[in-house]
A = this chain, B = another copy of it.
Amino acid sequence: MKFLKTISVDEFKIILDSIPRLKVEEEIVSIGESFNRILSRDIESKIDVPHFRKSRMDGYAVLAEDTFGAEEDNLIELEIIEAIQAGDIPQKRLKKGQCSYVATGAAVPGNADGVVMVEFSERQENKVSISKAITPGTYVIEIGHDVKKGSTILKKDTLIDLATMGIFASCGIKGVWVYTQPTVSLMSTGNELVSQEVKNLEIGKIYDVNSVVLRKAIENTGVLVKFLGVIKDNYDELKNGIEKALENSDIVILSGGTSKGEGDLGPKVLEGYNDIEILIHGVKIKPGKPIIFAKVKKKIIFILPGYPTSALSCFYVFIDNFLRKMSGYPLRDKFSKEFEIGERIYSTVGRHEFKAVKIKEEKGIKKIFPIKTGSEAISTMFYADGYIEIEELESIIDKGDKRKVYFF
Stretch at the interface among A21-29, A51-59, A70-78, A236-244: A51-59
Structural contact, A166 and B103, CB atoms closer than 8 A: no
* A202: chain B residues within 8 A (beta carbon): 89
The winner among A166, A173, A191, A212 for most chain B CB atoms within 10 A is A166
Structural contact, B172 and A196, CB atoms closer than 8 A: yes
Is A379 at the interface (CB under 8 A from chain B)? yes
The contact of A374 among B56, B103, B105, B207, by CB within 8 Å, is B56
Copies of this chain held together in the complex: 2
* A259: chain B residues within 8 A (beta carbon): 104
Structural contact, A206 and B58, CB atoms closer than 8 A: no
Structural contact, A215 and B381, CB atoms closer than 8 A: no
* A104: chain B residues within 8 A (beta carbon): 259, 261
The winner among A201, A213, A308 for most chain B CB atoms within 10 A is A213
Q: How far is the CA of A382 from the CA of B171 in the complex (A)?
A: 13
* A163: chain B residues within 8 A (beta carbon): 213, 378, 381-382, 384, 408
Q: How far is the CA of A192 from the CA of B89 in the complex (A)?
A: 10
Structural contact, A162 and B213, CB atoms closer than 8 A: yes
Task: Decide: A196 near B382, CB < 8 A? Known: A47-B201, A87-B205, A88-B191.
Answer: no
Chain A: interface residue count, which band?
Answer: 35 or more
Is A263 at the interface (CB under 8 A from chain B)? yes
Structural contact, B378 and A263, CB atoms closer than 8 A: no
Chain A binding surface SS class:
loop
Structural contact, A166 and B106, CB atoms closer than 8 A: no
Stretch at the interface among A140-148, A178-186, A267-275: A140-148
Structural contact, B377 and A146, CB atoms closer than 8 A: yes
Q: How far is the CA of A378 from the CA of B166 in the complex (A)?
A: 6
The contact of A379 among B89, B167, B173, B207, by CB within 8 Å, is B167
Structural contact, A213 and B174, CB atoms closer than 8 A: no
Q: How far is the CA of A295 from the CA of B52 in the complex (A)?
A: 38
Structural contact, A146 and B192, CB atoms closer than 8 A: no
Structural contact, B377 and A145, CB atoms closer than 8 A: yes
Task: Decide: A167 near B382, CB < 8 A? Known: A206-B50, A212-B32, A263-B103.
Answer: yes
Is A208 at the interface (CB under 8 A from chain B)? yes
The contact of A87 among B49, B204, B207, by CB within 8 Å, is B204
Structural contact, B382 and A165, CB atoms closer than 8 A: no
Closest to A107 in B: B204
* A197: chain B residues within 8 A (beta carbon): 174
A380-408 interface code vs B (CB 8 A; 1 in, 0 out)? 01101000000000000000000000001
* A90: chain B residues within 8 A (beta carbon): 203-204
Binding site for B on A (CB under 8 A): 31-32, 35, 47, 49-52, 56, 58, 83-90, 103-107, 141, 145-147, 162-174, 190-193, 196-199, 201-209, 211-213, 215-217, 233, 259, 261-263, 306-308, 312, 373-374, 376-379, 381-382, 384, 408
Residue pairs across A and B with Cβ atoms less than 8 A apart, 16 shown, are: A83-B262, A87-B204, A88-B204, A104-B259, A145-B373, A146-B373, A146-B377, A147-B379, A162-B216, A162-B381, A166-B209, A166-B312, A168-B212, A170-B209, A170-B308, A174-B197
